[in-house]
Amino acid sequence: MTTTTAVAHPNIAFIKYWGNRDDVLRLPANGSISMNLDGLETRTSAEFDPQLGEDEFTLQGVVQIGTAAERVSDHLNLLRNMAGVAWKARIVSENNFPIGAGIASSASAFAALTVAAAAALGLELAERALSILARRGSGSASRSVPEGFVEWFVASRDEDSFAFSIAPPSHWPLIDLIAIVNAGPKKVSSAEGNVLARTSPLQAARVADAPRRLNLCRRAILEKNFTALAEIVEEDTRLMHAVMMTSQPSLTYWEPETLELMRIIPEWRAGGLPTAYTIDAGPNVHCLSLEESAQEVERRLREFPAVSQILRARPGLGAKIVPG
Ligand code: DP6
């Protein structure tokens, strides 16, 4: 059988996905908006082999067993069912960014896996169908399928909850400077955290208010209004982390330096430096900035002893097949 290779970028959510209305189908509690991160990528090859007894999943050169391998096999089962075959697969996946550095690797992982495996099975699927399938593997992966700035629809049916591009990467050359304050693996995965979201009394209010935040964020992107984007992105981050902290059991992903940056970044902005923070399910701080402000933001971030590394990303393309 032929081997097919796909590349996908992780994405940073501006309006966060946190919590599901259906945990099995990964139908989100609210819509979300993100930007793909160029420069950071997952490259995944898929080969289906009728002679193979079990799926084999190799990540960064290491054969995986346990939960990671099961999650990949479960995802392949969806694709095998669509194609009407039972063949097992060899999956080989590499990230060019540090795993465990707190960059959402499940988004690029399941987007690349979906696109590579669908092509290897000869399934000719449109972007929308690929986004729906990627969502079943990891919610945020639905947003790594289309290009650039992406919105993922909230919906009550599997076939209606997909992501689509609201603007191409060239629309607005935003820069994401990812300040790594703790490179260790997170204690509670997003998959586990998403299931806990509904235990917070604040989640219902966060979800009910999501259409307002989505509208403000979409408009800020389309109008390239950095101040408007900064304000809504930071507000949305604080709302998600408030839900995490008030879940049962409660989740606190921040380190002291995370909070320090959350305090100082709006001060830098008030002083005339366009930058804004956003934080996923981890302690690391994504500092959004413009081309003209990125160098100064990076210089200031480097003054923090706890910032061990800074990754830089521009708006990225969607997931695609590449030569093997
Ligand atoms: C905090 O997509 O990683 O990054 O669907 O369970 O795999 P699963 O979760 P995942 O959750 C991402 C949560 C987030 C916010 C976001 O990317 O929208």
C-alpha of residue 19 to centroid of ligand 1, in Å: 9
Dump pLDDT digits (tens) for 249-275. 999 999 999 999 999 999 999 999 999
**Could you tell me the distance, in angstroms and rounded to a whole number, from the CA of residue 137 to the centre of ligand 1?**
11
d(C-alpha 311, C-alpha 296), whole Å: 15
Summarize pLDDT for 14-69 with one digit per residue, the tens.
999 999 999 999 999 999 999 999 999 999 999 999 999 999 999 999 999 998 89
pLDDT, position 99: 67
Residue 1 Cα to ligand 1 middle (Å): 33
Decide: 210 and 14 in contact? Cβ < 8 Å. Answer: no
> pLDDT value at position 1?
67
Q: Kindly list the protein residues whose Cβ atom lies closer than 6 A to any atom of ligand 1.
A: 13, 16-18, 26, 32, 104, 106-107, 138-140, 190-191, 194, 280-281
Sorted by where each begins, the domain ranges of the chain are 4-170, 173-313
Is the pTM above the cut of 0.95? yes
The Cα–Cα gap between 93 and 155 comes to 31
Q: Which of 251, 185, 308, 177 is nearest to 18 (CA)?
A: 251
User: Directed axis angle between helix 256-270 and helix 291-302, to 10°?
Assistant: 140
Ligand 1, atom nearest to 135 Cα: 5
Segment 279-285 shows an average pLDDT of: 94
Mean pLDDT, rounded, of the chain = 95
Query: Which amino acid appears at position 258 of this protein?
Result: T
User: Quick one: pLDDT at residue 98?
Assistant: 72
The fold of the 4-170 domain, in CATH, is Ribosomal Protein S5; domain 2 (3.30.230)
Among residues 234, 254, 247, the alpha carbon closest in space to that of 187 is found at 254
Beta strands 27-28 and 20-22 are: antiparallel
Residue 173 C-alpha to ligand 1 middle, in angstroms? 24
Summarised one tens digit per residue, pLDDT across range 83-101 is 999 999 999 999 998 765 5
The verdict on domain 173-313 having CATH code 3.30.70.890 is yes
**pLDDT tens column, 177-228:** 999 997 676 778 888 899 999 999 999 999 999 999 999 999 999 999 999 9
74-80 LR contacts (CB < 8 Å, sep 24+): 75/110, 75/113, 75/114, 75/117, 75/136, 75/137, 76/113, 76/117, 78/133, 78/136, 79/114, 79/117, 79/118, 79/121, 79/123, 79/133, 80/121
Shortest-distance atom of ligand 1 to CA 193:
6
Which of 128, 98, 133 is closest to 116 using CA atoms? 133
Q: Tell which residue, 189, 120, 130, 56, has the closest CA to residue 319.
A: 130
Residue 231: pLDDT above 60?
yes
3 falls in which pLDDT band (50, 70, 90)?
Answer: very high
249 prior amide bond cis, ω within 30: yes
Q: Is 219 helix (H, G, I), strand (E, B) or coil?
A: helix
49, 88 Cβ separation under 8 angstroms:
yes
How high is the pLDDT of residue 2?
84
Confidence of residue 102 (pLDDT cuts 50, 70, 90): low
Question: Can you tell me the mean pLDDT for 298-318?
Answer: 96
